[in-house]
Structure 1
């Protein structure tokens, strides 16, 4: 098993933002359930942070789909490593909407905005632990 975290920028803006997010979640939850992939998705400031957990081949297949998805641009893998156990095993795709604790996390790291690409591996692990503790959001467009 491995974990892979990437960031990307959304190609969509309001007023279609909620519809696109809902579609992405529906599609990812279906794909992930079929391929035993788990993870978390966070969206803020027009930017995605998604961490995926699963078998290497399945994660690679999913990343090929994401790279072709016109709703994403500037995809950048920021973390990838083998794991023995999935942190987000209870979710095919946990969604966390913009939340104050995550804003506070970035402020505590001396960043004034959501910028996951600037985090060290240790900071990213701390962010993932925080995301694990937060309640997931239901997104219905």
Structure 2
């Protein structure tokens, strides 16, 4: 009997700048970010990749977790994506367990907890290129604890479809991946 070894897991954290003009932030999610998120959620499960995406002030902060070769291949593709520039690996480590194990790609919208953390550590705006290793780790931990756009905090009573429900239904619209 041959023992099959599972590919080692890694966690890669990177930052990049967006190359597109952001849409109205009051809408909850930028159109291009929605396309990236939709594409990630379709492709990542078959690659065994998960993670979290945060977008703020024209910058992406993303954690990718999965088999080392799959994560590296995906990151190479991201670096070639014209919606990103100045992609920089902030952290790369072998891991035993996934932090974002249940997520093909968790998305955190502009989060008050992130803004509070930025203020606490004297960052005037979201610029992950300025983060030291300690701040990168704080962000990963904060994003792990933050509510995703997909799992809002429970409402005290049923509410009409609005807010996150409208955005989630928008993300599922056919044709969202056109031009991606």
TM-score, structure 1 normalization: 0.92
- Aligned equivalents of 1:28 and 1:90: distance in 2? 14
Which protein, 1 or 2, shows the higher relative CO under an 8 Å CA cutoff with sep ≥ 6?
Answer: 1
- Aligned equivalents of 1:120 and 1:11: distance in 2? 24
Deviations 1:76-135 (A, max 9, x none): 111111110000001000001111110111111121111222222232222111111111
- Number of the residue aligned with 1:74: 86
- Aligned equivalents of 1:62 and 1:44: distance in 2? 22
- Confirm whether residue 2 of structure 1 aligns to residue 24 of structure 2: no
Equivalent in 75, 94, 97 of residue 63 of structure 1: 75
Q: Rg: which structure is higher?
A: 2
Q: After the TM superposition, which segments of 4 or more aligned residues of structure 1 sit over 4 Å from their partners?
A: none
Pairwise mapping of residues 23-34 of structure 1 onto structure 2 (< 5 A)? Answer: 23-34=35-46
Pairwise mapping of residues 1-141 of structure 1 onto structure 2 (< 5 A)? Answer: 1-15=9-23, 18-138=30-150, 139=167, 140=170
3-state SS in 1 of match to 2:71: helix
The alignment covers a number of residue pairs equal to: 141
3-state SS in 2 of match to 1:113: coil
TM-score, structure 2 normalization: 0.73
3-state SS in 1 of match to 2:32: helix
Q: By percentage of residues, which structure has more strand?
A: 1
Structure 1 segments unaligned to the other structure (5+ residues):
none
Structure 2 segments unaligned to the other structure (5+ residues):
1-8, 151-166, 172-180
